[in-house]
Amino acid sequence: MSLQIAGLEVHPALVPPLDASFLPAALFTREYLKLAAELGAEPLCIALERGDGSVSTYRTVVIPPANGHVQATRLYVERIVKTLLWQRGGWKVYIGGPAEIGAYIREVYSPSGPRKFDFDFMGGVFEHPFEIVLTTASVVPESKESTMPLGRNLAGCRVGFDLGASDRKASAVIDGEAVFSEEIVWDPKSASDPEYQYQGVMDSIRRAAAHMPRLDAVGGSAAGVYINNRVRVGSLYRGIPKDQFEAKIVPLFLRIREELGVPMEVVNDGEVTALAGSMSINDNPVLGIALGSSQAVGYVNREGNITGWLNELAFMPVDYRADGPVDEWSGDAGCGVQFFSQQGTNRIASAAGMVFDAKMGLPERLVVLQKQMAEGDEIARKVYESVGVCLGYAIAHYANFYDLKHVLILGRVTTGVGGDIILAKSLEVLRADFPELAPQVSVALPDEKSRRVGQSIAAASLPSL
């Protein structure tokens, strides 16, 4: 099959059976760089500065505008900037390369540009006005990364929790052994009163703590960005008015820690996904991908540490077709959340003709899909095959931005037979279209229980006593 965008043509070896127009970012990148090598390439260097002064620098090449293919170059560079913003984060972006391309990026990422959401979001997260700096490749700042160890503290009686958009999970852990785990359905995104989040988290902690002789520490993971246990942003809090968010949600976990009177740490759920993987296989680096209400991603480097990166790959573009599915929050098309989440499976299944009760939420629809899969429904199987093919191409794309060795996939979407199909198809893509990458990267599922509650168990290890 042949797919075209911006004057370039790609030929995927595998096509998602229910999303045949999916245009893999990894294949576009490969074709663009091949063309650049033929026509004569010019260096492009992009650096992102974060609030703590750390810097991530990414180097590639582009086709000089004078050599044509400007539309393809614009697409290539704009999608890389988008990727780096959500993978690594930053309030200041240096574009070192052709001035015409830099000017285009500045226009796109502006208060009135197509990426206005990203402009506002990054400025808010890092508490600096967002800006694009145009310069040359030779003077772009060098990388200055910061890393830190995460978790792996197992002694004592601990509670770990994981907050998702459809359920909250909690585990009681004694000296590294889980003695109790449970999931409770909740709906934080619809809550306008911050007491809903407070009461829900406290309830889960207390229920788990009741299964231990004492409570020594609490660790938590949740969707969003957390800095020093303070909430900076998160989809779980979309319904909270801005004044209440600043007053009650930002210090939410500081309040809980003070009331409990024990050490407590809360981090992004993706980081705990990666930590769970690293702890289970005892090797690094690990990219953990949780397919749940959204797509949560975390990364542990070769030293076993986390970086200062955002790793919010739910908003990293993996599909470059012009009319790709649009995320309602960011307004951008082709991002991971539209494929690797409950939202993604619902989108694909609904488009294929699977009918759900209009009153059902996404978690309930996933249960229906899983039931259909267990009963041998062909559409359900093709939904999971489609997700798996897309994930295989996404992993190849991630390899352009991460040092990959182990990729662990888990989360509610991977529960049951569907998870095995996703894994098999992703591996098939790597072997067929990226034979040089396939032997270097291990992609795996944890056991069934760990797919559902593994994050809350790993979260328990976060605080040091």
Residue ending a domain, choose from 90, 112, 145: 145
Number of domains in the chain: 3
- Range with the lowest mean pLDDT among 231-235, 300-304, 447-451? 447-451
In-domain check, residue 15: no
The H helix count followed by the E strand count for the chain is 13, 19
Q: In terms of domains, do 237 and 283 share one?
A: no
pLDDT at 384 over 70: yes
**How confident is the model over 293-310, as a mean pLDDT?**
89
The reported pLDDT for the residue numbered 402 is 97
175 and 46 inside one domain:
no
Q: Quick one: average pLDDT of 429-451?
A: 86
For the stretch 202-236, pLDDT in tens is 999 999 999 999 999 999 988 888 888 999 888 78
Encoded tokens for 395: 């992993």
**Whether residues 201 and 329 fall in one domain:** no
Percent of the chain with pLDDT over 70: 98
Q: Are residues 303 and 205 in the same domain?
A: no
Q: State the average pLDDT over residues 23-31.
A: 98
Tell me, yes or no, whether 20 lies in a domain.
no
Q: How far is CA 151 from CA 47, 154, 260, 392, in A?
A: 29, 8, 20, 29
CATH label of the domain that carries residue 345? 3.30.420.40
Whether 417 and 285 map to the same domain: the answer is yes
Q: Do 134 and 63 belong together in one domain?
A: yes
25-39, 74-88, 410-424: range with lowest mean pLDDT: 410-424
Q: Tell me which H or E stretch contains 425.
A: helix 417-433
pLDDT band at residue 399 using 50, 70 and 90 as cut-offs = very high
Res 352: pLDDT = 97
Bond into 285 cis (ω within 30)? yes
pLDDT of residue 205: 97
Does the residue 162 lie in any domain? yes
Assigned domain for 435 exists:
yes
Per-residue pLDDT tens for 119-141? 999 998 888 999 999 999 999 99
Number of other CB atoms surrounding residue 123 within 10 Å:
15
What pLDDT score was predicted for residue 22?
98
If you average pLDDT over residues 376-384, what whole number do you get? 97
Q: Say which range, 14-28, 286-300, 325-339, has the weakest mean pLDDT.
A: 286-300
Of 145, 165, 182, the one marking the end of a domain is 145
Is residue 300 domain-shared with residue 259, that is, in the same domain?
no
* Distance between CA atoms of residues 457 and 367, nearest Å: 24
Q: Provide the phi-psi class of 365: left if phi over 0, else alpha when psi is between -120 and 50, else beta.
A: alpha
259 & 172 share domain: yes
Structural domain contains residue 3: no
Average pLDDT on 107-128 reads 94
Fill in the amino acid letter for 39: L
- Do 173 and 108 share a structural domain? no
Q: 432 and 295 in one domain? A: yes
Q: Residue 78 is which amino acid?
A: E
- pLDDT (0 to 100) of residue 233: 80
- Final residue of a structural domain among 266, 292, 320: 266
Task: Give me the pLDDT at residue 277, please.
Answer: 81
Query: What CA–CA distance (Å, rounded) separates 45 from 57?
Result: 7
| pLDDT for the residue numbered 52 | 87
Q: Give yes or no for residue 282 having a pLDDT over 90.
A: no
Average pLDDT score over the chain:
93
Which pLDDT does position 48 carry in this prediction? 98
3-12, 14-23, 246-255, 439-448: which range is least confident on average?
439-448
DSSP 324-362: PPBPTTT--BSBGGGTSSHHHHHHHHHHTT----TT--H
Could you tell me if residue 13 is inside a domain?
A: no
Task: Give domain status of residue 11, yes or no.
Answer: no
- Report whether pLDDT(453) > 70: no
Residue whose structure tokens are 């067929």: 432
- The residue segments making up the domain with residue 106 are 40-145
Tokens of 433: 């279209």
* Interhelix angle 417-433/378-398, nearest 10 degrees: 50
* pLDDT value at 319 more than 80: yes
Does residue 281 sit in the same domain as residue 411? yes
Contact 269, 223 (CB under 8 A): yes
List 448's β-bridge partners, or say none. Answer: none
Measured CA to CA, the distance from residue 456 to residue 115 in angstroms comes to 34
Is residue 23 situated within a structural domain?
A: no
- Cα–Cα distances (Å) from 187 to 156, 168, 272, in that order, read 32, 9, 21
pLDDT band at 465 (very low <50, low <70, confident <90, very high): confident
* Three-state SS letters, 367-390: HHHHHHHHCCCHHHHHHHHHHHHH
Whether 238 and 368 share a structural domain: no
pLDDT at 448 over 80: no
In the chain, the amino acid numbered 432 is A
CB atoms within 10 A of CB 355: 8
> Pick from 237, 183, 171, 240: which is nearest to 208 by CA?
171
